[in-house]
């Protein structure tokens, strides 16, 4: 019998700013929601090790999604008629639309790599997130995953990533 990883992936219809998007979402675990936000040009595969870490998924509902135009999330209908720009407004609007569609009330956010995205999420969306956790893009399994449990208990705090 085949042995599958615990990650479940599926598509979620989301509407933001009058545009309908088809967002690819991956989830694993249960408990406190931990929303993983990939860096520009990347996708949710960046969080494969977090989604597969039994120590994290025992206590957290880990959710990673591909932003529109990234990974397995397609551009919206008639994409060729619009100019693509991932602005702060769009970035935060898509994040909000996804967590609302998933009925997540309050979450910790783990952002990949850039300080700019982590700072934007933490300063402009503190009512959404309990904590934000920066993650270097080059992070591999085990480098910072053990810290997720303790870090997400901090209220409205930005926590810089540890570098190896």
Given pLDDT bands bounded at 50, 70 and 90, which one contains residue 140?
very low
Question: At 56, phi and psi to the nearest 5?
Answer: -85, -45
Mean pLDDT across 34-54? 89
- Model confidence at 14: pLDDT above 90: yes
Given pLDDT bands bounded at 50, 70 and 90, which one contains residue 18?
very high
Please give the domain boundaries of the chain with CATH numbers for all domains: 8-159 (3.40.50.1820)
Q: What pTM was computed for the model?
A: 0.71
Q: Quote the mean pLDDT of the chain.
A: 75
Residue 130 has what pLDDT? 65
Pairing of strands 19-29, 32-37: unpaired
Give me the residues paired with residue 37 across strands: 65, 111
- Model confidence at 125: pLDDT above 60: no
Residue 39 has what pLDDT? 80
């Amino acid at each position: 019998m085949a042995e599958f990883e615990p990650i479940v992936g599926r598509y979620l219809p989301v509407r933001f700013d009058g545009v309908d998007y088809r967002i690819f979402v991956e989830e694993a675990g249960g408990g406190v929601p931990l929303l993983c936000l990939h860096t520009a040009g990347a996708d949710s595969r960046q969080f494969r090790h977090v989604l597969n870490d039994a120590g994290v998924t025992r206590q957290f509902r880990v959710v990673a999604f591909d932003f529109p135009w990234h990974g397995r999330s397609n551009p919206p209908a008639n994409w060729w008629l619009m100019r693509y720009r991932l602005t702060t407004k769009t970035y935060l609007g898509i994040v909000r639309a996804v967590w609302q569609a998933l009925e997540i009330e309050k979450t910790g956010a783990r952002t990949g790599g850039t300080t700019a995205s982590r700072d934007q999420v933490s300063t402009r969306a503190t009512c959404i997130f309990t904590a934000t956790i920066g993650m270097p893009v080059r992070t591999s399994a085990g480098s910072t995953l053990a810290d997720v449990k303790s870090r997400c208990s901090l209220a409205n705090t930005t926590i810089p990533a540890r570098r190896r």
